[in-house]
Structure 1
Amino acid sequence: MSLALPNTRRIAIDTDDLSGITRIDRRAEVDPREVGLSPEAVEQIWQAMGDMYRTRVYPALTFCLRRQGKIVLNRSIGYARGLAPEHPLAPNARRAEPDTPVCIFSASKSVVAALIHKLAEEGGIDLDAPVSRYVPAFSGQGKSRTTIAQILAHRGGFPFFTADDHGPELLADWDACIDRICAMPAERGGRRMVYHSFTGGFILGEVIRRVSGQSLTEYLDSRLRQPLGMRYFTYGLDRRSRSRVAENYVAGQPVRWPVSRWACQALSVPFEEVVAVSNSDFFMDAVIPAGNLYATAEELSRFYQMLLNGGHYHGQRVFEPETVARMLRPASPPQLDWALKIPMRYTEGLMLGMDPVGLYGPMCGAAYGHLGFMNILGWADPSRDIAAGLMTTGKAILGGHLVQYMRSLGTLNRLCRDV
């Protein structure tokens, strides 16, 4: 049964039987009984993901769930390209696969945050020091005492580019972004919690570049991508991989004022333009620390499994336990985020769950991870011993799909509640 409301932009496809458009990575999935789950429970979790797809908002959905470090689900539903809401299926449509790369948008923030924590672990920076110690131009205009830790916790005081700076071309010009951020005025760091959609990521990336002497992608490659054995998991996407990438589509209810104004402010460009730009070559050529890391659902789950393991993965130490502990430490109690307009709990780089309900579903107070535009989610929950990645390609702010989204997470949390 569809939860979609009238006028919702939805895919024109029969969703009664999803078996023909479902792909399963059987080589990766283990018998769920090895990790304390019944086959019936895992099938119910996958059915809940299918119910998300049946809202017909997402042309493609990929999902990977680890329990006790082992993969119990690594699957995909739908089409990576050629199935747009309100359009018939294209003759050359390409099915989504479990290893289809997807842009994770703001879920990228957790990765640049992890790299900053790694740089501190290596002795390159002090997280509690002013950013201006490492980027001297980042001073004055209210920012001279703003610390790296405050930026990680969305308390830097410079959450948005100015109205004159809006536009996708700016995000592809690293040096121009740094110049504008350094020049813009800001309130005193730490005063308010306001989601920094792009600005914080660029400054964190610039600190990494200046201190390490490497580009952000080089530092990521040596500290995370190679140690974790990732195929993708980097900012931007090489040209040989672009034929496999999942395309993004506008879906759901039309975005109207005042939500359209809030979305434009947070995203730096209008909502629908973000979606169109994300499918372009120039976006995939760019390095946008807070917004254009490409990964599979399994790779995103693997990253969070490493954090869940206290910094190690498959016998190698990627982060020190103390580094992970600081990254997971709450930066403040729940407070209203003035940009997102909802109560949030942040660490220095991650979004925390909440009870009785939060980003990761009901009773997820122990969970941590990050949300991406829109309904992309990477997270771990130590109370359930799970690490997961959920990728979707229908970009919808409003609509009945949100009800099913929370129901699906509720099913997962209920069935995995016993560690």
Structure 2
Amino acid sequence: MLLARKKKLLQALERKIFRGFVVPEDLAPLTDIDPKESKATAKSGVSPEDVEGIWSAVESFYRRSAHPFVSVCIRRHGEMIMNRSLGYVTGAMGECEPVVGSLDTPVCLFSSSKAVSAMLIHKLAEERHIDLLTPVSYYIPEFAAGGKANITVHDLLCHRAGVPGIAPDVPRDVLYDPEEALRHICEMETLHSDGRVSAYHAVTGGFVMAKLVEVTTGMTIQQYLDKVFRQPLGMKYFTYGIDEKLQPTVARHYETGLKNPKPIENVLTNVLGATVSEAIEISNSPEFMSSVIPSGNIYATAEEACRFFQMMLQRGEWDGQRVLDPVTVLRGTREVGGARFDKSLMLPMRYSAGMMLGGKPAGLYGVDTHHAYGHLGFTNILCWADPQRDLSASIVTSGKPVIGSHIVPLLFSVLNSINKACEPCVDGLYELPQYRPAS
């Protein structure tokens, strides 16, 4: 009895310090499990015990009360070994009656959207609408201002266009006006006229990509997304923004975790173009959900995000359809320039032309993930593929903590349990599948 009271007091103290929510002892009523989860152990190479071990790590991560809603989807050797959700869509913090989420709950992917948008630009190149090594200003003449005349489309995809953020004095409503946002971006001076400075473009790159699609195809980027990925992959959601009728079903974003120390808050404000609190408030607004923000507001389920990366893992093929040429997948996932210090994130980063890459001995997607590619989203959204493991995965969350007690369970329990259950099945780069032109 005394032990139980002490445990409750400690939990209440942790919730207060880390701005968490009340997690019930029994998580079963908050859990949704896809009956289509594969039991083909011999094909996936992952035992039922390992699958439950991964889910146990996810539950421990959830109990840190940083993420009111969590959904996880994992495929191995093409078999969907896990597709589960846990938690509340809204009401976790007592702002209304709690509503339990499901596998069908759409979540904003935030910056994980960049991987999808980048592959749309690679598709433009595949269809010969653009050349990746041609300056952006060839297609968008006004982009040449501010020393950007020689910045190529490839530089843009690699976060080297030198325009990482819109100026602080620009009204935030510019997010909802793509033409006005593009005007501000075109007027900005680049950090380097030859694209030599790596600086993460949190929002700006997407508006330029959208214009590239428009001027070369006559389509909006929403229409192109629908044509290239959404329809061929059979997605229900997977759109920039989300239909007004579906907005009440979206997982609400919450500010959780410790209050950020000033140096970290300053870096995040510089990256996001707003404080973390403001960014969360904006992301829950109908204006944000109704807008097209190519760098940061694709709405999808965890399974849909995983499906996209499974298509990438299958070198551009899905369900017997050729979605991307294998060489296009290679162009979008191959490392560019090695690990370099990123002047926006203030961290060393490995990028491809559109993806954040893993690392060895450890990286964004866990231990020994040198060949993994994907993207992180604000703040603990991870969507990736690892060809060395024949693995595609997505972890989508609704809390927005930066520092908190959730970090160790996520990095050292969830990711490690996934990577241990799905050990490398090829031994290095030269044993990975060869890329050849699609027949």
TM-score calculated relative to the size of structure 1: 0.96
Unmatched 5+ stretches in structure 2: 1-6, 426-439
**CA offsets, 1:134-173, max 9 Å, x none?**
0011113110000000010011111111121152x11111
Which residue pairs with 2:430 in the alignment? none
How far apart, in 1, do the equivalents of 2:342 and 2:118 lie? Answer: 19
How far apart, in 1, do the equivalents of 2:421 and 2:200 lie? Answer: 32
How far apart, in 2, do the equivalents of 1:43 and 1:311 lie? Answer: 30
Out of 62, 65, 70, the position equivalent to 2:79 is: 70
How many angstroms does 1:7 deviate by? 1.5
1:152-191 to 2 correspondences below 5 Å: 152-165=157-170, 167=172, 169-187=173-191, 188-191=193-196
How far apart, in 1, do the equivalents of 2:182 and 2:424 lie? Answer: 47
Which residue pairs with 2:258 in the alignment? 253
Q: Which amino acid aligns with 1:9?
A: R
The answer on whether the counterparts of 1:66 and 1:387 sit within 8 Å (CA) in structure 2 is: yes
How far apart, in 1, do the equivalents of 2:424 and 2:127 lie? Answer: 37
How far apart, in 2, do the equivalents of 1:27 and 1:414 lie? Answer: 23
Task: Report the secondary structure of 1:75's partner residue.
Answer: strand
Task: Report the secondary structure of 1:77's partner residue.
Answer: strand
Which residue pairs with 2:22 in the alignment? 12
Task: Report the secondary structure of 2:280's partner residue.
Answer: helix
The answer on whether the counterparts of 1:253 and 1:397 sit within 8 Å (CA) in structure 2 is: yes
Out of 275, 298, 314, the position equivalent to 1:293 is: 298
Out of 216, 223, 229, the position equivalent to 1:224 is: 229
- Structure 2 residue 351 is matched with structure 1 residue 342: no
- Structure 2 residue 217 is matched with structure 1 residue 212: yes
The answer on whether the counterparts of 1:4 and 1:399 sit within 8 Å (CA) in structure 2 is: no
The answer on whether the counterparts of 1:76 and 1:97 sit within 8 Å (CA) in structure 2 is: yes
Unmatched 5+ stretches in structure 1: none
Q: Which amino acid aligns with 2:209?
A: L
How many angstroms does 1:28 deviate by? 4.3
Q: Which amino acid aligns with 1:10?
A: G
The answer on whether the counterparts of 1:166 and 1:269 sit within 8 Å (CA) in structure 2 is: no
Out of 129, 132, 135, the position equivalent to 1:127 is: 132
Which residue pairs with 2:428 in the alignment? none
Which residue pairs with 2:376 in the alignment? 371
The answer on whether the counterparts of 1:129 and 1:147 sit within 8 Å (CA) in structure 2 is: yes
1:296-375 to 2 correspondences below 5 Å: 296-375=301-380
The answer on whether the counterparts of 2:309 and 2:392 sit within 8 Å (CA) in structure 1 is: yes
The answer on whether the counterparts of 2:145 and 2:188 sit within 8 Å (CA) in structure 1 is: no
- Structure 2 residue 419 is matched with structure 1 residue 410: no
- Structure 2 residue 104 is matched with structure 1 residue 59: no
Which residue pairs with 2:32 in the alignment? 23
Q: Alignment length, in residue pairs?
A: 413
How many angstroms does 1:33 deviate by? 3.9
Q: Which protein has the larger Cα radius of gyration, Structure 1 or Structure 2?
A: 2
**CA offsets, 1:212-247, max 9 Å, x none?**
100010000001100000000010000121121111
Which one is further off, 226-235 or 273-282?
273-282
The answer on whether the counterparts of 2:117 and 2:295 sit within 8 Å (CA) in structure 1 is: yes
- What do you get for the CA RMSD once the two structures are aligned? 1.6
How far apart, in 2, do the equivalents of 1:214 and 1:30 lie? Answer: 42
Q: Which amino acid aligns with 2:215?
A: R
Out of 247, 254, 264, the position equivalent to 1:242 is: 247
**CA offsets, 1:239-266, max 9 Å, x none?**
1211211110100011231111111110
How far apart, in 1, do the equivalents of 2:424 and 2:118 lie? Answer: 30
Structure 1 stretches of 4+ moved >4 Å: 1-6
Q: 1:28 to 1:240 in 2, by over 3 A?
A: farther
The answer on whether the counterparts of 1:5 and 1:399 sit within 8 Å (CA) in structure 2 is: no
How far apart, in 1, do the equivalents of 2:395 and 2:171 lie? Answer: 29
- Indicate the structure with greater helix content: 2
The answer on whether the counterparts of 1:32 and 1:42 sit within 8 Å (CA) in structure 2 is: no
Out of 42, 51, 60, the position equivalent to 2:51 is: 42
How many angstroms does 1:418 deviate by? 4.4
Task: Report the secondary structure of 1:379's partner residue.
Answer: strand
How many angstroms does 1:54 deviate by? 1.1
Task: Report the secondary structure of 1:261's partner residue.
Answer: helix
How far apart, in 2, do the equivalents of 1:274 and 1:160 lie? Answer: 14
How far apart, in 1, do the equivalents of 2:287 and 2:107 lie? Answer: 16
Task: Report the secondary structure of 2:145's partner residue.
Answer: coil
Which one is further off, 373-382 or 409-418?
409-418
Which residue pairs with 1:144 in the alignment? 149
How far apart, in 2, do the equivalents of 1:333 and 1:202 lie? Answer: 26
How far apart, in 2, do the equivalents of 1:347 and 1:246 lie? Answer: 30
Q: 1:219 to 1:345 in 2, by over 3 A?
A: same
How many angstroms does 1:17 deviate by? 2.9
How many angstroms does 1:13 deviate by? 2.4
Task: Report the secondary structure of 2:141's partner residue.
Answer: coil
The answer on whether the counterparts of 2:21 and 2:92 sit within 8 Å (CA) in structure 1 is: yes
How many angstroms does 1:384 deviate by? 1.1
